[in-house]
Amino acid sequence: MDASESIYKRVLDTMEHGYVFYDATGQIRLYNRAACRILGASPGQLEGKTSYDPDWRTIREDDSPFPPDQHPIIASLKGGVACYGVVMGMHRIDDGRLRWLQINSDAVREEKSGEIIGAVASFDDITQQINQKRYLAHALRERETETRALSENASYVRDTLAALAGEIAEANARLIEALTPAGGEALECARALERKTEKLVRILSQRSG
């Protein structure tokens, strides 16, 4: 490694995000310390690895497989496509833990001919953000389920009360009919109950609307 390459490597090692360079054959030839840390690799362990290495076991954000030939670095290397903000799950080399990465990649071209001679990728570990996002989504689904259950229970209670109010109104109407000839306090109580029952029916009708 000459002086310029050494300086370049030192600059890369100061970066917080991971950085890798793939040659034209799709093998990793240059990487920084952050890449090793994020991917769980020891010094030298990334050298020569490709996107097709089975250790990665890459997945998409919906947990479906992320085929190597669809990786952003392959899109840049084979098609010259620049990719930004691609989210991909990868399993660490050392302990197999799943980490979520946000990846940017682009092709490296020969200055004069424009021929693709490699590709670079930078990435950040966004596992915490993804886990928080999933936790919130799960909590939201649970809340929606609880709300739906409460709504269904409320509908059941409302329908039960409406049916009961109807039965009370019907029985009270017969009672008023029987008490009307005699009049008196019992009739007034029956009519008061009739008014309250009608009010309850109106309230239940409004809630059901």
Last residue of a domain, one of 87, 108, 125: 125
Same domain (yes/no): 13, 53: yes
Q: Determine the residue type at 180.
A: T
Q: Centre a 10 Å sphere on the Cβ of residue 15 and count the other Cβ atoms it contains.
A: 13
- Say if residue 62 is in the same domain as residue 119: yes
pLDDT in tens, 123-141: 999 999 999 988 888 787 8
On whether the CB atoms of residues 90 and 101 are closer than 8 A, the answer is yes
Contacting residues for 97 by C-beta, under 8 A, at least 6 apart: 40, 91
Per-residue confidence (pLDDT) for residue 44, from 0 to 100 = 87
CATH number at residue 37: 3.30.450.20
Q: Are 103 and 12 found together in one domain?
A: yes
Q: Is 60 in the same domain as 161?
A: no
116 and 174, same domain (yes or no): no
28 and 121 share a domain? yes
Q: Are residues 7 and 90 in the same domain?
A: yes
Same domain, 28 and 117: yes
Query: Structure pTM?
Result: 0.65
Residue 108 sits in the same domain as residue 154 = no
Total count of domains within the chain? 2
**94 φ, ψ (degrees, to nearest 5):** -75, -45
Q: Are residues 68 and 141 in the same domain?
A: no
Q: What percent of the chain has pLDDT over 70?
A: 89
CB 35 within 8 A of CB 46: yes
Q: How far apart are CA 189 and CA 194, in angstroms?
A: 9
Structural domain span for residue 14: 3-125
Q: Write out pLDDT tens, residues 74-121.
A: 999 999 999 999 999 999 999 999 999 999 999 999 988 999 999 999
Are 97 and 18 in the same domain?
A: yes
Q: Are residues 46 and 108 in the same domain?
A: yes
H runs (alpha helix) in 15-126: 33-39, 72-79
- The 10 Å Cβ neighbour count of residue 34 is 20
Contact 82, 118 (CB under 8 A): no
DSSP state of 69: G
Which of 98, 125, 152 is at the close of a domain? 125
Q: Concatenate the DSSP letters of all residues of 156-188 into one string.
A: HHHHHHHHHHHHHHHHHHHHHHHHTTT-SHHHH
Instruction: Look up tokens 């669809």; give the residue.
Output: 70
